Amino acid sequence: DVVSIHAPELPQTRHLFDAGRLALMRDGATLVNTARGSLVDTDALVKELVSGRIDAVLDHTEPEVLPVDSPLYDLPNVLLTPHIAGS
């Protein structure tokens, strides 16, 4: 299964994909975010990714520039692209 996020950045969509919604994803599913980083609760996503339960393809993150020590850089089930989805 693949969940692909295509939504605007609005106050109502902040952390639309929080721990509860991420937990609803099937084991082995992939989350694709080509929208905005604020739509996904990064801490909740990292917990799911570290568990190995889901995968992620992220063109946007929150914060937009990840800290150099972000675990997202080293997880084998994450593909990061440098904000090029609209290109």
Residue from 36, 48, 60, 62 carrying the catalytic annotation = 36
Residue from 14, 15, 21, 83 carrying the catalytic annotation = 83
Measured over the CA atoms of residue 5, residue 40, residue 82 and residue 53, the dihedral's sign is negative
**83 tagged catalytic:** yes
Contact 59, 36 (CB under 8 A): no
For 5, 29, 45, the CA distances from 75, given in Å and listed in that order, are: 21, 16, 12
**14 tagged catalytic:** no
**6 tagged catalytic:** no
Which residues does the annotation mark as catalytic? Answer: 36, 64, 83
